[in-house]
Amino acid sequence: MTTGLPGAGAAAGHTGVPFVWSFESGRPGPHVMIAGLTHGNEPAGQAAVLRLVEEGVRPLSGRLTLALVNPAAAAAGRRFVDRDMNRLWRDDWLDGDGSSVEAARGRELRPIVRQVDVLLDLHTTAFVARPFFVIAELAKTRALADRMAWPPTQQLMPGGCVDGRHLTDYGRFADPDDPAVAVTVECGTHDATASAGVAHAVARRFLEVANGPGPARPNVSIERFRTGEPCIARTDRFALRIPTTGFVGVRKGDVVAMDGDRPVIAPADLVIVSPRPDPKAGQTAFLWCERC
């Protein structure tokens, strides 16, 4: 996981905050940010961000910031060191946690993130090869995802994340009346070699439309899924009975998993998203979801 991680202050545009690069165009415009490695076990986002740094990408207007969010976790070969870096983005949580590596990094990044008008956070998943957006169900996030139009699959999260606050939920991003907007894109599986190329292509597409309509992508059929209730594992012996590829449609009455000796039965015709590998009792095993 540490392969390819440069020195904390490598390359032009370095901000003084480790693994954050920022470029001012000198012309008015939004502050656009691309983040990767919010989870330390997701090297595709890291590869995409570092490739953009190496390519010398620069904003035509406004400011562009490129950041690796949790390099300490990557260096440790882990998803996170002390706590999930994508569940703690609330000021009182960041201020109230004086001990975790992640809260300290959040406080270090916060002054920059607060200035950002348009943010893309690049992730990958355990199982799902198809790239897709994960977005708060707000008009502004839907508009940005629609403008990008790629990937064409959108997972909408009404009310936000069920077990914490994403980076993309931080501050102004969660305020429906503030124009600042942030989206997450899952760019394939953690281990697939293709995921880094997908993440880079998503980032390039994001840069085309972050500051306005940009060139259209023809022949894209956008599909949206609205997340509903989480399925919480009751035992440590939770086993899915359906493919783990994500966005799997099930019919009312289908046995979709065994939770210990108890069958988990679909309460309606639904779609299953975000399957978690080997969930423990009390953890979210997957999310029930509806097409919308």
| Contact of 267 with 290, CB cutoff 8 Å | no
Output the smallest distance, CB 87 to Zn ion, in A.
Answer: 10
d(CA 235, CA 122): 31
User: Closer CB to Zn ion, residue 31 or residue 166?
Assistant: 166
Does 123 contact Zn ion by CB under 5 A? yes
Task: Give the DSSP H/E element, type plus range, for residue 148.
Answer: helix 139-148
Output the smallest distance, CB 119 to Zn ion, in A.
Answer: 15
Q: Binding string to Zn ion for residues 136 to 165, with x set by CB under 5 A, is what?
A: ------------------------------
Q: Please choose, out of 31-39, 111-119, 204-212, 232-240, the segment that lies near Zn ion by the rule CB under 5 A.
A: 31-39
Q: How many CA atoms lie within 13 Å of 109's alpha carbon, on the beta-carbon side? A: 32
d(CA 145, CA 154): 8
Q: Please choose, out of 38-46, 52-60, 100-108, 262-270, the segment that lies near Zn ion by the rule CB under 5 A.
A: 38-46
Output the smallest distance, CB 35 to Zn ion, in A.
Answer: 11
Does 276 contact Zn ion by CB under 5 A? no
Size of the site for Zn ion (CB under 5 A): 2
d(CA 19, CA 48): 13
Output the smallest distance, CB 132 to Zn ion, in A.
Answer: 12
> Residue 71: which of 134, 164, 114, 9 has the closest Cα?
9
3-class secondary-structure state, position 249: strand
Does 205 contact Zn ion by CB under 5 A? no
Q: What is the 3-state secondary structure (H, E, C) of 69-103?
A: CCHHHHHCCCCCCCCCCCCECCHHHHHHCCCCHHH
Q: Which of 30, 37, 39, 65 binds Zn ion (CB under 5 A)?
A: 39
d(CA 169, CA 172): 8
Does 190 contact Zn ion by CB under 5 A? no
Residue nearest to Zn ion (CB): 123
Output the smallest distance, CB 42 to Zn ion, in A.
Answer: 5
Q: Which residues bind Zn ion (CB under 5 A)?
A: 39, 123
